[in-house]
Amino acid sequence: MLQKFLDLFLCAIIAATFPTASAASSLDAVGRTLFESTTLGKSGRSCSTCHPGGRGLEQVDDFTDDELKDIINACIRDALHGSKLAENAEELRALVAYVRSLKR
Ligand code: HEC
């Protein structure tokens, strides 16, 4: 009886965890593609031109998501000569998720 309850409990945890985990990692994947892409601006560069393998991004945990969005937009505008992304754009959220994932 107890075992059955535990099994059900485990299943519930697994079911509750997996969709979130895969949604988070697919956001990372979108972010990685953008990070390597030269299409965010007109400079012919990508984020990884200046931050190869996450160089210079070691302190990202010191910032909130909103602060990171501002910093990333500043890099897009000034370093990539691109247009800032909207605050709630999926691309911007993906880049935040990806730069955070570089720390893991
Ligand atoms: C032309 C070079 C260049 C490009 C391209 C560039 N950055 Fe940066 N980035 C910098 C510099 C310089 C800083 C600030 C100096 C520092 O502290 O490393 C910085 C800082 C950052 C920070 C804050 C890191 C910290 O810990 O202070 C983040 C996050 C970041 N960039 C993300 C990006 C992303 C995402 C892209 C692509 C959209 C990008 N950068 C493109 C040069 C660049």
Query: Using one digit for the tens of pLDDT, what is the confidence trace for 56-102?
Result: 999 999 999 999 999 999 999 999 999 999 999 999 999 999 999 99
- Residue whose entry in the numeric block shows the structure tokens 């880049």: 95
Q: Compute the mean pLDDT over every residue in the chain, rounded to the nearest whole number.
A: 87
Cα(85)–Cα(90) distance, rounded to whole angstroms? 9
Q: Ligand 1 — pocket residues by CB below 6 A?
A: 35, 40, 45, 47, 49-51, 56-57, 59-60, 68, 71-72, 75-76, 79-80, 95, 99
Tens-digit pLDDT profile for residues 77-90: 999 999 999 999 99
Residue type, 47: C
